[in-house]
């Protein structure tokens, strides 16, 4: 299976050189920034996006608050499960890092000695992004966009082939969506129980937000008073 690395004549390697070649032409400070963003920054941004989505959901409240928070809890859990699923995949494929077979790459992060397929970073990022999409489409689209950027960064840094990234995207998406019905069936009753608890209910619904089972009620305007009719015959 190590033959996945292949020679430089295949599209996977050609695209690797095209993207990584940008790092050779970029200023040193930009490469250092991409190193941080690709290794830590985008994953941190996804965590903050999950927190922001949770804050938005709990402030809005309503009938879907508990299920939305359950989906948000599932997003990082799905990412962790996907990475665990990747452990035997990596051991089976045994694909070396691209810089092992291609010495002329611009490698921004040294010390990577594990196998390359599939990318843990791409798997984590896409699992969280898709999990966010299950909870809230707007936040989910942003999360998926960040995951795509993460995949680009891993190739730019010279630590993954493009197909490592695509495999990570597929793995993260598959685990999140395939296990989502079971996860929601287990997590939603828990979040509903937390919502009903007096001391921790704020984790699901902020004070003043519409309670579960109700949407925010907009009071109707009082009907305009009709002028008193005068007895014209008087």
pLDDT of 190 reads 92
Q: How many helices (H) and strands (E) does the chain have?
A: 9, 0
Residue 233 DSSP class = T
Q: What are 142-155's pLDDT values in tens digits?
A: 999 999 999 999 99
User: What are the backbone angles phi and psi of residue 169, rounded to the nearest 5°?
Assistant: -60, -45
pLDDT of 208 reads 60
Give the residues of the chain that fall short of pLDDT 50.
1-8, 213-222, 229-234
**Residue 96: is it exposed, middle or buried by C-beta count within 10 angstroms (0-12/13-18/19+)?**
middle
pLDDT of 81 reads 96
Cα–Cα distance for residue pair 57/77, rounded to 1 Å: 19
Question: To which residue do tokens 């903050």 refer?
Answer: 48
Domains annotated on the chain, with CATH: 10-203 (1.20.144.10)
pLDDT of 6 reads 44
The pTM for the full model equals: 0.82
């Amino acid at each position: 299976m190590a033959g996945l690395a292949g020679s430089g004549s295949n599209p996977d390697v050609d695209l690797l050189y095209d993207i990584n070649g940008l790092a050779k032409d970029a200023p040193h400070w930009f490469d250092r920034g991409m190193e941080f963003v690709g290794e830590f920054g985008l994953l941190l941004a996804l965590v903050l996006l999950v927190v922001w989505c949770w804050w938005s959901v709990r402030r809005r409240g309503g009938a879907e608050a508990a299920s939305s928070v359950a989906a948000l809890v599932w997003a990082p859990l799905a990412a962790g499960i996907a990475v665990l699923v990747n452990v035997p995949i990596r051991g089976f494929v045994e694909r070396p890092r691209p810089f092992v077979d291609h010495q002329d790459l611009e490698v921004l992060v040294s010390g990577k000695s594990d196998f390359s397929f599939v990318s843990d970073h791409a798997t984590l990022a896409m699992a969280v992004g898709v999990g966010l999409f299950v909870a809230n489409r707007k936040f989910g689209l942003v999360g998926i966009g960040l995951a795509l950027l993460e995949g680009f960064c891993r190739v730019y840094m010279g630590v993954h082939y493009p197909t490592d990234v695509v495999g990570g995207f597929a793995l993260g998406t598959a685990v999140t969506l395939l296990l989502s019905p079971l996860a929601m069936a287990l997590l939603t009753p828990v979040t509903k129980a937390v919502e009903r608890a007096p001391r921790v209910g704020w984790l699901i619904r902020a004070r003043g937000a519409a309670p579960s089972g109700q949407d925010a009620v907009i009071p109707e305007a009082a009907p305009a008073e009709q002028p008193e009719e005068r007895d014209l015959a008087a």
